[in-house]
Amino acid sequence: MRATTVSIVALTSVFAALTSGFMTARPQSGLACCRALKGILPDDTFLPNTTVYIAEHHDFWSSTEGLNPACVFLPNTTDKVARAVRLFTSLNCQWATRGGGHCPIPGAANIDGGILIGTNQLNAIDINHEEGYVRVGAGNRLGAVYTALDPHNLVPIIGRFEDIGLGLAIGAGFSFLSNSEGLTIDNTLNYEVVIANGTVVNANKYSHPDLFWALKGGNNNFGIVTHFHFQTFPYDGTVYGGNIVHPESSFDQVADLFYEYHTHQAVDDVLTHAMPSYVYVGLTDVARAESLVLYNAPVDELPPILQPWLEVPYQSDTLSRRTYGSLAHEGGNGIFYGLALRDQRLFSVYADREFLKDAWEIQLQWLRAHQDVPGLIGVQVPMPITPNQVAQGVAKGGNALGLESTNNGRSIVVILMLLNFSNLADLPRLRAEHNALMESLVDLAKERGVYHPYIMLTYSGAGQEAIASYGAENVAKLRRIAKAYDPTGVFQRLVPGGQKLPRA
Ligand SMILES: Cc1cc2nc3c(=O)[nH]c(=O)nc-3n(C[C@H](O)[C@H](O)[C@H](O)COP(=O)(O)OP(=O)(O)OC[C@H]3O[C@@H](n4cnc5c(N)ncnc54)[C@H](O)[C@@H]3O)c2cc1C
C-alpha cells in the first residue's frame, strides 16, 4: 500500500517535472527530483527525515562540506547509477558525487538542495590474479583495498591514508610507490563510468581511449565512475617504514633533508618514498616535522640512501617492517582526522633548497601570528613529482596533466598548505588570509625563477583553477572530449561542484 502511494507521488512529480522544469534551462527543484528518484529507486533514496540521511549528509573530512542536499542516494549497482543519471538528465536535476568525501572545497562532493550520490555501497573488491589487476568499487576507502590485497602480497598505486576515497584516481594520486610507478591515474587500467546519456562505458587504452585519457585528471567532468581497475604489483609482504618526528630545533637540517629527498633520494633510488611534512599546533605553540619515510623492500632498517633522516636529531619514530595496510592505518591515525573546518592551498615550484626552507619559515611565522585562532593547526607538505614519475605517465599512455611538456627534466615540488580550525565564523577571513599567504609565496617563487604553474587537483583549494593549470592545449582537448561524450554539458550544468573544466 505504502509503495503504491510513493510511486503515485513520484510519477506525479515526474510528470510535473517533464512538463515544466525539463523544458527550461533552470534546474528542477531538488524536492521534485528526490521524489522522482524515490519513485524508481525507493530503497536507495533517503529523504531528510531518515537516519541514513542524517548520518550521510555530514559525513565529510572537512566540515566545510557539510551541506544540505534534498536527499541522499546510495546506489549499490552500476545499473542504479545509470538509471539515476538518465532520470536526472531528463528532469534537469542537480547532484554531487561523493567518493570518500575528503575534498574540502565546499560543494565538490556535496550539494545544497540537490541530490548527494554517495558511492559507499559500490564496495566490491575483486582481485584478478591472472591479469594483474584489482577491480574496485568507487565507494571503497583505501584501507579496505590494502586490507584485501596485503594477504596476497599485492599492492596497487593508491594513496597513503586508509580513510581517503578514490577521488584521487581521477585527479592525480601519490602512493607509496609513486617514485617507481608514477601516479595513481597512470596505473589505473580501466574506468567503468556512467556518462551523460546514462550508458555505461569502459574506458581503457583499447576502448574509448580519448575518455580514458580525459579521466586521468579530468575529475567529475566526464561521468560517474562506478568501478576502477588498478594494476597490482607483487611485493614480499612487508616493507620498512614509519613516521619520523623532528623537533623545531632541527628545522635547518630538516629543510636540507627535504631538499635532498626531492632531488636525490626520490630520483636516484625509486624504491624510496617519503611524505615530508611540517606541522604547527596553535594550542601548544609547538612546531615539528612529522614525515612518513619508507623503503619499498623487505629490509630491517633504512638503507644508506635514507639514513640522513636518522642523522638529523629526531625525537621519535615508528619505523618497522610492516605491510602497506599498516602504513596506511598509521597515516589515518594522525592529526589529519577529527571534526574541523579545513582550507587547503596548493602551488608548485621546481625543487630549490633556499625556497623550500623559506616557504616553511614564512608559513610558520604566519601560523604563529594566528596562534589564538581556536583549533588552529597548520601543515605544509612538499611532495615531489620526479622526472621518472612524469616519464611513467607518458610510458603508461599519457594523462591530462601536461607535465611532460613543462617539467624540463627536473623534480617539481607540489607544496600543500593545510589549515585546520574550529569556528565557522572564522572561515571567510581565514580562507582569504590563507590564500593571500599562498599568493605571497607564489610571488616569491616567481621572483626567484622557481615557480611552476601546475596545481595538483587532488590537493587544490576553493577558488584554485586546477584544470586550467594543465595548459591550453590539454584544456582544449578535454573540452573536445567532453563535447563528444556529453554534448549538452550535463556534467557542467547539473554537477556544479568541485574542479570543473574552465569555461571557453
Ligand atoms: C588526510 C588526507 C590524506 C590524503 N592522502 C593522500 C595521498 O596519500 N595521496 C594522494 O594523492 N592524495 C591524498 N589526499 C588527497 C586526496 O587524494 C583528495 O582529497 C581526494 O579528493 C580524495 O578523494 P575522495 O574520494 O575521498 O574525495 P571526494 O571529496 O569524495 O571526491 C573528490 C572529487 O572527486 C569527485 N569524485 C569522487 N568519486 C567520484 C566518482 N566515483 N565519479 C566521479 N567523480 C567522483 C567528487 O565529485 C569530488 O569533486 C589526502 C587527503 C586527505 C584529507
With a 6 Å cutoff on the Cβ, whether 238 touches ligand 1 is no
CA distance 386 to 149: 27
Residue-wise pLDDT tens digits, 230-249: 999 999 999 999 999 999 99
Q: Calculate helix-pair angle for 2-19, 78-91, nearest 10 degrees.
A: 40
- Which residue minimizes the CA distance to atom 17 of ligand 1? 168
CA of 370 to the centre of ligand 1 (A): 28
Say what the pLDDT of residue 27 is.
86
Question: Is ligand 1 within 6 A of the CB of residue 100?
Answer: yes
Count of alpha carbons within 13 angstroms of residue 77, beta-carbon side: 5
Query: Residue 162 corresponds to which cell in the numbers above?
Result: 586508509
Of 72, 102, 177, 190, best ligand 1 pocket probe by most atoms within 8 Å of the beta carbon: 102
What's the gap in Å between 221 CA and the centre of ligand 1? 14
Are 218 and 170 spatial neighbours (Cβ–Cβ below 8 Å)?
yes
CB distance 262 to ligand 1 below 6 Å: no
Question: Are 125 and 137 within 8 A, CB to CB?
Answer: yes
Residue 468 grid coordinates:
586550467
- pLDDT of amino acid 334: 62
CA–CA gap between residue 300 and residue 238 (Å, rounded)? 10
Rounded to the nearest angstrom, the distance between the alpha carbon of 159 and the centre of ligand 1 is 9
Nearest to 260 by CA among 218, 190, 307, 197: 307
Residue 101 beta carbon below 6 angstroms from any ligand 1 atom: yes
Ligand 1 close to Cβ of residue 182 (< 6 A) = no
Q: Where are the alpha helices (DSSP H) in 20-130?
A: 30-40, 51-56, 78-91
pLDDT for res 504 = 79
Sites in the chain below the pLDDT cut of 70: 1-25, 333-338
Q: Which phi-psi region, left, alpha or beta, contains residue 281 (left: φ > 0; alpha: ψ -120 to 50)?
A: beta
What pLDDT, on the 0 to 100 scale, is given for residue 25? 62
CA distance 174 to 158: 7
CB atoms inside a 10 Å sphere around CB 210: 14
**Whole-number pLDDT of residue 18:** 41
Segment 448-499, tens digit of pLDDT:
999 999 999 999 999 999 999 999 999 999 999 999 999 999 999 999 999 9
24, with CB counted inside 10 A (0-12, 13-18, 19+), is exposed
- 71-73, strands of its sheet edge to edge: 45-46, 71-73, 115-118, 95-98
Give the H or E element holding residue 128.
Answer: strand 125-128
